[in-house]
């Protein structure tokens, strides 16, 4: 193939089409536990996460819940995947591999939300959320007391006591959460997230009529099992995902993944390396939502 402006335009238009078709077809699991929040600038202020709003009886003056701007600011991050196209491959019509590479770039771009959410979950035991505590922690300050959404029990369906001490403890914790005035938040968890090693146990707890010791299973039907390959140890999480306004994790999206290319024959890389380039770029970051919407156990005990 003769390498000129017209042939390059035709080549990279084809790669762009493959990229976008693959991106549109890509699906993920992030929507089960996270929501997307659009961003219009370099970062966003999440002061609104400071309080979990609930209705209260109106007696006397209204109780104004003032928000502290700038307390929890999240800056957008840059994301990219870049592929070099050898000029010799274009001249020799050896372009099949780049069609595959463009398809893989589309798949990678389509996984961005899942990557961001998985990163939030992997660091949830050591990363701070809105109240200055780790997202999963034992001492979230609420109404002068310390409240825990963190456990250490390994998920178990061996006996009723074992199930109660692991899954049951997380379920009870979430349903016991109150707001800063002591009003129940009325939260009921509905998604149990585990790694592949815990899949069988999780499905017994959520789907089976009986536990492993043949005793009746009181937790059947209380949650949907989400198996996440990114979880490689015994940690597990229980989430509230049925709120329309908020989910436990947030994907802050400034610029969705877009196809980019470098095709000018005057570019230094073409002169020095005989390479053109294409790939994807995006701007986004992850944010922890209300910790009350999730319970996590590190599975250490």
Give the CATH number, domain containing residue 175. Answer: 3.90.1690
**Of all helices (H) and strands (E), which one includes residue 98?**
helix 96-110
Tell me, yes or no, whether 59 lies in a domain: no
**Whole-number percent of the chain with pLDDT over 90:** 59
Please give the backbone phi and psi of residue 201, each rounded to the nearest 5 degrees, phi first: -65, -45
What is the per-residue pLDDT for 63?
A: 46
Tell me, yes or no, whether 60 lies in a domain: no
Tell me, yes or no, whether 64 lies in a domain: no
What is the per-residue pLDDT for 84?
A: 86
Express each pLDDT in 99-149 by its tens digit.
888 998 899 999 999 999 999 999 999 999 988 899 999 999 998 899 999
Tell me, yes or no, whether 195 lies in a domain: yes
What is the per-residue pLDDT for 64?
A: 45
Q: Which of these ranges, 38-47, 66-75, 81-90, 250-259, has the smallest mean pLDDT?
A: 66-75
Instruction: Spell out the residues 6+ positions from residue 172 whose beta carbon is closer than 8 angstroms to its own.
Output: none
What is the per-residue pLDDT for 62?
A: 43
Point out which residues pair with 133 in neighbouring strands: none
Tell me, yes or no, whether 227 lies in a domain: yes
> What's the number of domains the chain is made of?
1
Domain span at residue 180? 5-52+69-297
* Structure tokens that stand for 225 in this block: 């099992």
Rounded Cα distance between 167 and 215, Å, is 16
Tell me, yes or no, whether 61 lies in a domain: no
Rounded Cα distance between 111 and 182, Å, is 40
* Structure tokens that stand for 162 in this block: 């074992």
Cβ–Cβ under 8 Å, residues 168 and 158: no
Tell me, yes or no, whether 63 lies in a domain: no
Is residue 59 pLDDT above 90, yes or no? no
125 C-beta neighbours (distance < 10 Å), count: 15
Rounded Cα distance between 244 and 103, Å, is 34
Rounded Cα distance between 124 and 293, Å, is 13
Rounded Cα distance between 286 and 221, Å, is 30
Cβ–Cβ under 8 Å, residues 237 and 249: no
Express each pLDDT in 2-13 by its tens digit.
666 777 888 888
Q: Which of these ranges, 53-67, 73-87, 285-299, has the smallest mean pLDDT?
A: 53-67
Tell me, yes or no, whether 193 lies in a domain: yes
Express each pLDDT in 165-194 by its tens digit.
999 999 999 999 998 778 899 999 999 999
Whether this prediction's pTM lies above 0.75 is answered by yes
Rounded Cα distance between 142 and 67, Å, is 16
């Amino acid at each position: 193939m003769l390498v000129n402006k017209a042939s390059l335009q035709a080549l990279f238009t084809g790669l762009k089409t493959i990229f976008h078709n693959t991106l549109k077809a890509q699906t993920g699991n992030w929507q089960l536990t996270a929501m997307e929040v659009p961003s219009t600038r370099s970062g966003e202020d999440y002061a609104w996460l400071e309080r979990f709003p609930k209705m209260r009886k109106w007696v006397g003056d209204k109780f104004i819940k003032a928000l502290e701007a700038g307390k929890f600011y999240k800056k957008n991050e840059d994301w990219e995947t870049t592929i070099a196209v050898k000029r010799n491959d274009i001249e020799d019509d050896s372009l099949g591999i780049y069609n595959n590479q463009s398809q893989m770039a589309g798949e990678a771009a389509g996984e961005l939300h899942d990557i961001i959410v998985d990163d939030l979950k992997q660091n949830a035991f050591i990363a701070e959320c809105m109240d200055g505590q780790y997202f999963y922690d034992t001492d979230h300050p609420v109404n002068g007391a310390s409240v825990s959404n963190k456990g250490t029990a390994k998920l178990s369906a061996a006996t009723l006591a074992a199930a109660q001490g692991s899954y049951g403890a997380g379920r009870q914790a979430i349903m016991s959460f109150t707001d800063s005035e002591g009003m129940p938040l009325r939260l009921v968890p509905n998604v149990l997230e585990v790694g592949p090693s815990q899949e069988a146990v999780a499905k017994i707890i959520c789907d089976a009529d009986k536990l492993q010791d043949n005793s009746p299973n009181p937790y059947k039907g209380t949650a949907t099992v989400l198996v996440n390959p990114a979880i490689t140890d015994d940690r597990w999480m229980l989430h509230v995902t049925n709120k329309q306004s908020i989910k436990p994790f947030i994907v802050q999206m400034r610029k969705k993944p877009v196809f980019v290319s470098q095709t000018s024959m005057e570019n230094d890389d073409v002169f020095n390396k005989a390479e053109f380039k294409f790939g994807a770029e995006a701007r986004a970051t992850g944010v922890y939502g209300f910790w009350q919407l999730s319970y996590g156990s590190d599975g250490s005990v």
